[in-house]
Amino acid sequence: MSAIMAPTAAGTSVSAAAPAAASRANLAETVYASLKRELHEFAWIPGDRLSEAEIGQRLGVSRTPVREALFRLRNEGFLEVEAKTGWFVRPIDFDRLDQLYDLRVVLECASVARLGSRRDDPPELAALKTAWLVPAAERLRDARAVGELDEAFHASLVRAAGNDEIARVHQEVTERIRIVRRLDFTRPDRIDATYDEHAKILREVIRRKADEAQRLLRSHIEQSKVEVRKISLHAMHEARRRRVQLG
């Protein structure tokens, strides 16, 4: 005996409405991922205006998933919207980014301190040794891959400490600084510095030398903060220069 589906207010069955809602959500997620990737790569620079119609046409979707993606990016601090002028890319707030980097220091140092007092070896540490304690010839060189590996290093240290709430907040911070953080790996010297510094931090964590691990970690994050500011400003300058050349 087949089940009778209750109609919705609009006369559509629940079974038909659910896949339609899922499809809209998937489209919005696709648009969101595409636009966020473009923002990270400085295809859009601060002050640029975004057209819902143009984005929808370019990505082959209706305005509804575009608008959902844009509001999500606004909530994350990447965009602003005004009634008369529409959507535009927010200027990079370096003071705010500095505060988020400072919060990273607090969260990660607290996690390293907790790790130093653990008697067992969390499984995350074994994976980190495999990724970071490697000969120079085996180091990754692709900027995107190193950026993802770098995020995983810091997130794994926090998760290994065993505090789920700290890990959750740390992930939120990571999302909010990703737009500039990945730029730190567009230069070969910064990739090598990251490998060297991560290896030193990890060795001290493994030895349960929490104080030294915290000192190295704090220095590592502070240097990254300085570098991404310089690289971000340079990237925006180059993006504007290319636009002028293209006319």
pLDDT in tens, 185-197: 888 999 999 999 9
42: left (phi over 0), alpha (psi -120 to 50) or beta: left
- Contact yes or no for 197/220 (Cβ under 8 A): yes
Would you say domain 94-246 falls under CATH 3.90.1200.10? no
Averaged pLDDT, 162-189: 89
Q: Tell me, what amino acid is at 181?
A: R
CATH number of 14-89: 1.10.10.10
Distance from C-alpha of 147 to C-alpha of 126, rounded to nearest angstrom? 20
pLDDT reading at 98 higher than 70 = yes
Match 């600084």 to its residue by tokens: 177
Per-residue pLDDT at 228: 86
Distance from C-alpha of 126 to C-alpha of 129, rounded to nearest angstrom? 5
Per-residue pLDDT at 238: 76
Per-residue pLDDT at 62: 94
Distance from C-alpha of 47 to C-alpha of 43, rounded to nearest angstrom? 12
Per-residue pLDDT at 222: 95
**pLDDT band per the 50, 70, 90 thresholds, residue 14:** very low
- Contact yes or no for 181/224 (Cβ under 8 A): yes
Per-residue pLDDT at 182: 76
Distance from C-alpha of 188 to C-alpha of 204, rounded to nearest angstrom? 25
Distance from C-alpha of 101 to C-alpha of 98, rounded to nearest angstrom? 5
Q: Give the start-to-end residue ranges of the domains of the chain.
A: 14-89, 94-246
